[in-house]
Amino acid sequence: MKKLSRLCSFALALAFVLPLTAQEDLAPCGTHLGVSPWLRDFQRRIDETPRTDDLLYLPIQVHVVGTDEGSGYFSNKGIMDAFCTLNADFVDANIQFFMPNPVNFIDNSTFYDHTFQQGAAMMIQNNLPNIINCYIVQSPAGNCGYFSPSRDGIALSKGCLAPNDHTWAHEVGHFLSLPHPFFGWEGHDHDYDEPAPNNWGGSLVERLDGSNCAVAADGFCDTAPDYLSFRWSCTSNSTSSIQQTDPNGETFVSDGTLIMSYSNDQCVVGFSDDQISAMRANVEEQRPNLISVPPVLEDIAIENVGQLTVTNPEPGTIVETETVTLEWEPVPNATHYVLQINPFNIFSIIFEEQILEGSSTVVTELREDETYYWRVRPFNAYETCTAFTSPSSFTTGTIVSTNELLAGELLELFPNPTNGDQLQMNLKLNDQQQGQYRIVDATGAVLRSQELSVTNSLQRIELPVQGLPAGMYFVQLVLEDRQIMRKVVIH
Ligand SMILES: [Zn+2]
C-alpha cells in the first residue's frame, strides 16, 4: 500500500522544485580520456573493418543519489525524459539502451556532491556487473558529468539532464572509447589568433589540411580540428564564433554538431560516422559482456496514451474516505507507470510521484475537501519517450482523519486566492494549546512564522503576506499533536 502522507509528499515535492544547478555553474565534463591503445589500433584498421548493422541492446543501471535525509533525488519524470534523449542520440549508431532493473536510490550526502575520490568510492560500493552504471547526483566533482575509466562508471549532474541536454550521450561516448575532438587542449588557455603549437598536452595538434588527422587529437579524420576545451555557444551555422589558427597558420571555426565537443547543446546533432564505428566496435571487441538479448518488449503506442481510461474512481467523483484506489486500463506494452498526484491541476510542481508496476495503486491519508488531480506516464525498459496522459480528478468529501481537523473544529483562510494585501485565518480548535503558524513557499522555505495561543473559541488572525511575490504558498499550523496544512495562492 502506497501512502500519500502530507509530510512525506511535501518532502518529496521539495526534492523536485529545488532549483537545479545551472549548467553554466558546472564544467562541461570531467573526463580526460586519451586515445586508448585499442582505439589507436582500431583507427589504423577502420577502413578494413566493416561495421555490423545489427541493433545493439545495451543495459544501463540508473543510480539516483540523494542526501542522507533522502531528499534531492532527480525526478522519475526527469529520468524518463533524459533516457529518451539518450536513446535518440544513439539512433544513428543503431544502439538501443534499456533499463532492465528499477532505479537504485542511494541516500548519501557525500556521494550527492562528491569529489572524484568520493565518486570512486560510490562506484566501488554500488556498481553492478555487466551493465553501464550511471549515477545521477547533484554535483559530480563540479562537472556536468564524467566517465571514470578506472571505476568504469558514469556520474551525471541532475542539472545537466534536461530533455535537450546531451551530457548523458557525451559521457556514454567516453565510456565507449571516444576522446574529445579537442583532445590535448583540456585545461589549456591559448591566444587563438596565434598559430597553435605542434603539440599540446602530450598530443599532436590537428591541422586543418588533414595531414595528421589520424594521429593527432582524437585520431578521427571525420572530426575537424577543434581547440575549444570550454563550453562555447554556436552560431546559426552550427559552428563556433571563435576562430582558431592551426600550426600552419590556417584559420578555422569548430564544428558544433558533435556530441563529443563542448558546444552548447543547442546545435548538437550526434556522432561522426567514424565515432559510431569506433563505439560499435568497442562494444563488440572490448565490452561483449554488455551485449544483451533484446528484451521482449514492443514500442508503446504513444498515440493511444493521451487519454487515460480510468476505471476508478470515475473522473469528478466525490469520495468520502481517506483511502482511494486509482485504477486505469493498462496501456499496451507498458510494464510500468509514473504516477503523479497533485492537489491542483498544474504539474510543474509535483506533490506525489511514484513508479508503479501494473495499472492500479492505493493512496491513503488524503485531505478532506480537496480536489486531487492525477495522471500517469507509461513506460517499459527501453521505451521512455512517452507523454503523460491528460489528468483525471476526484474530490474528497468529509473525511474522518486523526491528523486533521476534528469534529467541531475550524480552519479557514480568506480571501484565497488573495491579491497579497491581506490574508486572514479563522481558527477554532477543541483544545487550548500552544502552537505556531508558518507561511512556507513551494520550495519549503519558511518565510513567516508566529507563535499562537489556540483557544476553543473562534479566533481571527491576520497573516502577514504583504510583500510576498505571486505564487503558491502553504500555511502550516504546527500543533502539539499534529500539523495542518492549507494551500494559499497569491496572484
Ligand atoms: Zn567529455
pLDDT digits (tens, 9 = 90+) for 127-183: 999 999 999 999 999 999 999 999 999 999 999 999 999 999 999 999 999 999 999
Span from the CA of 30 to the centroid of ligand 1 (angstroms): 6
Secondary structure E strands in 430-470: 433-441, 446-454, 459-463
DSSP 249-274: S-EEEEETTBTTS-B-GGG--B--HH
Statement: residue 291 has pLDDT above 80: yes
pLDDT at 11: 34
What is the average per-residue pLDDT within 27-43? 92
Query: Cell 535525509, residue?
Result: 69
pLDDT at 305: 56
Taking only Cα atoms into account, the Rg of the chain, rounded to an integer number of angstroms, comes to 27
Span from the CA of 93 to the centroid of ligand 1 (angstroms): 18
pLDDT at 381: 85
Query: Which H or E element spans position 85?
Result: helix 76-89
pLDDT higher at 379 or 297: 379
Q: Contact at 8 Å (CB) between 96 and 132?
A: no
Statement: residue 404 has pLDDT above 70: no
Secondary structure E strands in 329-407: 336-342, 352-357, 360-363, 371-379, 392-396
pLDDT at 261: 96
Span from the CA of 65 to the centroid of ligand 1 (angstroms): 21
Statement: residue 472 has pLDDT above 50: yes
pLDDT at 406: 78
pLDDT at 6: 32
Statement: residue 16 has pLDDT above 80: no
Span from the CA of 262 to the centroid of ligand 1 (angstroms): 8
All 3 cell numbers of residue 164? Answer: 535537450
Q: What domains sit in the chain, N to C, each tagged with a CATH number?
A: 9-178+271-290 (3.40.390.10), 181-268 (no CATH), 304-396 (2.60.40.10), 410-490 (2.60.40.1930)
Span from the CA of 176 to the centroid of ligand 1 (angstroms): 12
Span from the CA of 245 to the centroid of ligand 1 (angstroms): 23
**Minimum mean pLDDT among 9-13, 170-174, 195-199, 374-378: which range?**
9-13
Give the pLDDT confidence of 72-129 residue by residue, as tens digits: 999 999 999 999 999 999 999 999 999 989 999 999 999 999 999 999 999 999 999 9
pLDDT at 26: 85
**Which residues 6+ apart lie within 8 Å of 172 measured at CB?**
86, 90, 97, 132, 147, 154
Burial class (CB in 10 A: 0-12, 13-18, 19+), 470: exposed
What is the average per-residue pLDDT within 406-430? 85
Span from the CA of 62 to the centroid of ligand 1 (angstroms): 19
Span from the CA of 96 to the centroid of ligand 1 (angstroms): 21
What is the average per-residue pLDDT within 31-57? 92
Pick from 287, 95, 102: which is nearest to 177 by CA?
Answer: 287
The torsion angles phi and psi of 23, rounded to 5 degrees, stand at -55, -35
Query: Cell 559510431, residue?
Result: 276
Statement: residue 25 has pLDDT above 80: no
Span from the CA of 171 to the centroid of ligand 1 (angstroms): 6
pLDDT at 23: 52
User: What pTM did the predictor assign?
Assistant: 0.74
Q: Tell me, what DSSP letter sits at residue 27?
A: B
pLDDT higher at 94 or 187: 94
Query: How sure is the predictor about 14, in pLDDT bands with cuts at 50, 70 and 90?
Result: very low
Q: Contact at 8 Å (CB) between 205 and 232?
A: no
Cis? peptide before 417, omega within 30° of 0: yes
pLDDT at 306: 61
Statement: residue 262 has pLDDT above 80: yes
Statement: residue 372 has pLDDT above 60: yes
Q: How far is residue 87's CA from residue 81's CA, in Å, rounded to a whole number?
A: 10
pLDDT at 12: 36
pLDDT higher at 73 or 441: 73
Query: Cell 502522507, residue?
Result: 5
pLDDT higher at 322 or 359: 359
Statement: residue 402 has pLDDT above 60: no
Torsional sign, CA 285, 287, 289, 292: negative
Span from the CA of 141 to the centroid of ligand 1 (angstroms): 13
Q: How far is residue 224's CA from residue 334's CA, in Å, rounded to a whole number?
A: 42
Query: How sure is the predictor about 302, in pLDDT bands with cuts at 50, 70 and 90?
Result: low
Q: Where are the alpha helices (DSSP H) in 228-363?
A: 273-286
pLDDT at 8: 32
pLDDT at 49: 87
**Minimum mean pLDDT among 23-27, 105-109, 132-136, 431-435: which range?**
23-27
What is the average per-residue pLDDT within 336-362? 85
Inter-axis angle of helices 167-175 and 76-89, to 10 degrees?
60
Span from the CA of 102 to the centroid of ligand 1 (angstroms): 27
Query: How sure is the predictor about 443, in pLDDT bands with cuts at 50, 70 and 90?
Result: low
Statement: residue 15 has pLDDT above 80: no
Statement: residue 59 has pLDDT above 60: yes
Span from the CA of 260 to the centroid of ligand 1 (angstroms): 6
Span from the CA of 161 to the centroid of ligand 1 (angstroms): 15
